[in-house]
Amino acid sequence: MPKARPAWRGTALSEKHVTVTAVICTKNEAATLGEVIEAVKPRVDSVLVVDGHSTDETREIAEGLGAEVQLDNKRGKGAAIRQAIDYLECDIIVFIDADVSHDAADIPKLVEPIVKDEADLVIGCRITGGSDELAGDWGSFARSTGSQIINLIVNWRFRVRLTDIQNGYRAIRTSCAKALPLVENITTIEQEMTIKALKKKYRVMNVPSHEYRRKSGISRISVPRFACRYVWEVIRDAVLS
Ligand SMILES: Nc1nc2c(ncn2[C@@H]2O[C@H](COP(=O)(O)OP(=O)(O)O)[C@@H](O)[C@H]2O)c(=O)[nH]1
Ligand SMILES: [Mg+2]
């Protein structure tokens, strides 16, 4: 069967083919990675898996499905994302998780505003799209409340009205990503990327995207452990400088 043609091809202002690479950061995601790669592949030009030294079959599954695989430097998802940004030369990068919490069918929604030159960073929004992860228990409540407070601070500081600055599901113009002085090693990278893009006056927008509960295994993001880093990062980049 011929490869499905992504919706944005031919819609670019120029006739140039816009190249899109999906980056999937992984750490022991053998149970779900195959499903994510299969869903992502028809919608992008290439897939890069940056793996956190998984001890399961994650890398074998990725290679078997034709993805390029790199090992990260063992410092966390943020460091893995920075490694991908430094390495890639495509026009647009889409970041998507390996746990089937993001709907690959939303990739055109994330990419199109960049192709149409209406945005440089497009973030899937869990407030307008809904989230099965950020509801139902005290940990989720703390995470979503903290996230909303940080959103409000960033909106106030940069006079924007974004609804989700932290979601990892996003597309970014590669030249914009490379211009940002990103330093975070953990998942704080996502809000750091948003804040630094706003600071450099890049155009940031949200589009609704539903977040599903991770299909297998457990999240490695501990709110009590990382909360201080999230707060410090926003103070450092949005308030103090
Ligand atoms: N390369 C790499 N990926 C990671 C690391 N930690 C988590 N990930 C991946 O980052 C994505 C998000 O992690 P997850 O635990 O689901 O966090 P949550 O979605 O914020 O709850 C998943 O695809 C993980 O496999 C790491 O240290 N290195
Ligand atoms: Mg997840």
Residue 155 located in a structural domain: yes
> Is the CA virtual torsion 125, 50, 82, 73 positive or negative?
positive
Exposed, middle or buried by CB within 10 Å (0-12, 13-18, 19+), for 39? Answer: middle
- Report residue 113's pLDDT band, with 50, 70 and 90 as the boundaries: very high
Q: What is the pLDDT of residue 12?
A: 45
The CATH code of the domain that includes 221 is: 3.90.550.10
Please give the average per-residue pLDDT across 50-62, as a whole number.
Answer: 98
Residue 15 located in a structural domain: no
Find the 170 Cα to ligand 2 centroid distance in Å.
Answer: 14
Statement: residue 90 has pLDDT above 50 = yes
Statement: residue 8 has pLDDT above 70 = no
Residue 58 located in a structural domain: yes
Residue 50 located in a structural domain: yes
Residue 5 located in a structural domain: no
Interatomic CA distance for residues 84 and 164, integer angstroms: 23
Find the 114 Cα to ligand 2 centroid distance in Å.
Answer: 25
Give percent above pLDDT 70 in the chain. Answer: 92
Please give the average per-residue pLDDT across 117-126, as a whole number.
Answer: 97
Check if 143 has its Cβ closer than 6 Å to any atom of ligand 1: no
Residue 10 located in a structural domain: no
Q: What is the pLDDT of residue 148?
A: 94
Q: What is the pLDDT of residue 133?
A: 79
Give percent above pLDDT 90 in the chain. Answer: 78
| Full domain range(s) for residue 114 | 20-240
Atom from ligand 1 closest to the CA of residue 219: 15
Please give the average per-residue pLDDT across 25-35, as a whole number.
Answer: 97
Atom from ligand 1 closest to the CA of residue 75: 27
Into how many domains does the chain fold? 1
Residue 209 located in a structural domain: yes
Q: What is the pLDDT of residue 221?
A: 66
Report the 10 Å Cβ neighbour count for 60: 12
- Report residue 163's pLDDT band, with 50, 70 and 90 as the boundaries: very high
Statement: residue 11 has pLDDT above 70 = no
Please give the average per-residue pLDDT across 48-71, as a whole number.
Answer: 98
Atom from ligand 1 closest to the CA of residue 220: 15
Which residue CA neighbors atom 15 of ligand 1 most closely?
A: 219
Residue 1 located in a structural domain: no
